[in-house]
Homo-oligomer: A and B are copies of this chain.
Amino acid sequence: MSEPRKLEVLRAIVEDYVHSREPVGSKALVERHHLGVSSATIRNDMALLEEEGLIVAPHTSAGRIPTDKGYRLFVDRISEVKPLSAAERRAIHSLLEGPDDVEDILERTVRLLSQLTNQVAVVQYPHLSRARVRHIEFVLLTPRQVLVVLIADSGKVEQGVVHAAADATDDDLTALRARFLGSIAGSQLDLMPQVLPSVVALCQPALRNLAGALAHGLQRLADRSRDERMVMAGTANLARSNVDFPLSIGPVLEALEEQVVMLRLLSDMAEDPRGVTVSIGRENPYDGLSEASVVATGYGPGSSAKIGILGPTRMDYPNTMAAVRAVARYLSRILGD
């Protein structure tokens, strides 16, 4: 049997199944795709495909559906990333115009991606560990409460409240701010643990307590911005695409809510030379996602942060991959300047 036809048959099965959501049989296959052979031949091919674990029959006399392995082969060797339609390109263009606040941009991006793909879209905040301190600000809220603001040169702002052991004054804060800023402005966020203690040590004894508290607060902010976050959109698509289909969406929602899980998942996805990485069904390290696939890619400087979508294994991979890739590229471009 010819190797090319075998792949062709697998391709046809995947496409039909994604489209119809129903097991596809040999006869329907020859009708819908002009394969040039009879259904009996296809049956033989299918038997082989099943032996190789690429497809399975849910019950004796039903059609076949692709396995995770089948999808994998499809994605790796068969499908081509389709170019986006003109309408889609336009949507990307227009939706990503507007104020270029990092937060705003990510929010709109993720919404856009979820609409393009009809899946749940997820985007990770850009990494800040290599970002540098641009500015800090101490603001007295009450005599014992100080709002600490840390501004990175990436434009990200972190804030938190610090409790002082004794009453502080605006003058204290102004002095300390100058001192801190002098020492840490321009230094990398991940170097702060090395720098901060020496700043505190150099303070006048009277201020040392306060300085310690503030240093601790700054450290927390720096940690937090390294500490990753994400934005998502389109959870309602989960319910829609699975009407009358038993992808139990409970576990998936749980995974999405446990941001740690999702972030881990995204980070762990190796970068693929083709631009998008796909993790299918049980390939996912998280149990709740055993019937789901993740399509993701990096964006921004060094492609360090990830953007992607989450959907049922039975999804339209070519189009989804195209959308993810395109959106990631636009996003990189916008954040680039």
Determine whether the beta carbon of A257 is less than 8 Å from that of B243.
Answer: no
Does A265 make an interface contact (CB < 8 A)?
A: no
> B-facing mask of A124-137, CB < 8 A → 1, else 0?
00000000001101
> B-facing mask of A213-252, CB < 8 A → 1, else 0?
0000000100000000000011110111001000011110
Q: List 15 A-B contacts (CB under 8 A).
A: A99-B161, A101-B160, A134-B141, A134-B147, A135-B137, A135-B139, A137-B149, A149-B149, A155-B159, A157-B157, A234-B257, A235-B257, A238-B253, A239-B253, A249-B249
Within 8 A of B (CB), among A256-298: 256-257
Does A321 make an interface contact (CB < 8 A)?
A: no
Give Cα A135 to B146, complex, Å: 13
Copies of this chain assembled into the complex: 2
Does A167 make an interface contact (CB < 8 A)?
A: no
| Residues A161 and B101 in contact in the complex (CB < 8 Å), given A135-B139, A147-B151, A151-B149 | yes
- Find A139's partner among B100, B151, B240, B257 (CB 8 Å cutoff): B151
| Residues A159 and B101 in contact in the complex (CB < 8 Å), given A149-B149, A153-B141, A257-B236 | yes
Contact residues in B for A134 (Cβ distance below 8 Å) = 139, 141, 147
Contact residues in B for A257 (Cβ distance below 8 Å) = 233-236
11 additional A-B pairs beyond A99-B161, A135-B139, beta carbons within 8 Å, are A100-B161, A101-B159, A134-B139, A134-B147, A137-B151, A139-B151, A235-B256, A235-B257, A239-B248, A239-B253, A249-B249
Main SS of the interface on chain A? mixed
Contact residues in B for A137 (Cβ distance below 8 Å) = 135, 137, 149, 151
Query: Which residue from chain B places its CB closest to the CB of A151 in the assembled complex?
Result: B139
Q: How far is the CB of A334 from chain B (nearest CB, A)?
A: 12
Determine whether the beta carbon of B147 is less than 8 Å from that of A155.
Answer: yes
Determine whether the beta carbon of B239 is less than 8 Å from that of A249.
Answer: yes
Give Cα A238 to B157, complex, Å: 34
Interface residue count on the A side (C-beta < 8 Å): 34
Contact residues in B for A160 (Cβ distance below 8 Å) = 99, 101
- A: residues with CB less than 8 A from B are 99-101, 134-135, 137, 139, 141, 147, 149, 151, 153, 155, 157, 159-161, 220, 233-236, 238-240, 243, 248-251, 253-254, 256-257
Determine whether the beta carbon of B149 is less than 8 Å from that of A157.
Answer: yes
Q: How far is the CB of A315 from chain B (nearest CB, A)?
A: 18
Q: How far is the CB of A68 from chain B (nearest CB, A)?
A: 23
Give Cα A149 to B151, complex, Å: 9
Contact residues in B for A240 (Cβ distance below 8 Å) = 250
Contact residues in B for A249 (Cβ distance below 8 Å) = 239, 249
- Which 8 pairs, one residue from A and one from B, show the smallest C-beta to C-beta distance? A239-B250, A236-B253, A236-B254, A157-B159, A101-B160, A135-B139, A235-B253, A239-B249
| Residues A161 and B157 in contact in the complex (CB < 8 Å), given A149-B149, A253-B235, A257-B234 | no
